[in-house]
Amino acid sequence: MLEARYCLSGSSDSMIRLWELGQQRCVHSYAVHTDSVWALASTPTFSHVYSGGRDLSLYLTDLTTRESFALHKGASDFAAGIA
């Protein structure tokens, strides 16, 4: 589990980034999507992140092992938000 000193960002370059706030630097980048990342939601323990993107996909990524699993791919009626 990651401590509260970290945050996540998603961007138009298709990357999810894990930031260490104390040092104000990116500590890891996750190449998961093939287009812009539109939405992120971490689990309560901050061990995983759900991400949705312009590529119409939804992924679950383990922030520790860095493994990603496609939960949904390529539907035209895909929602751009994650709650």
In tens, the pLDDT along 19-52 reads: 999 899 999 999 999 999 999 999 988 899 999 9
Model confidence at 8, pLDDT cuts 50, 70, 90, reads very high
The answer to whether the beta carbons of residues 27 and 7 sit under 8 Å apart is no
In a domain, 60, yes or no: yes
In a domain, 78, yes or no: no
In a domain, 52, yes or no: yes
At 20 the pLDDT is 92
In a domain, 82, yes or no: no
Range of the domain at 50: 6-72
Find, among 3, 32, 37, the residue nearest to 20 by Cα: 3
At 9 the pLDDT is 96
> Please, which residues bridge with residue 40 across strands?
51
For range 70-77, the mean pLDDT: 78
Domain count, the chain: 1
At 80 the pLDDT is 60
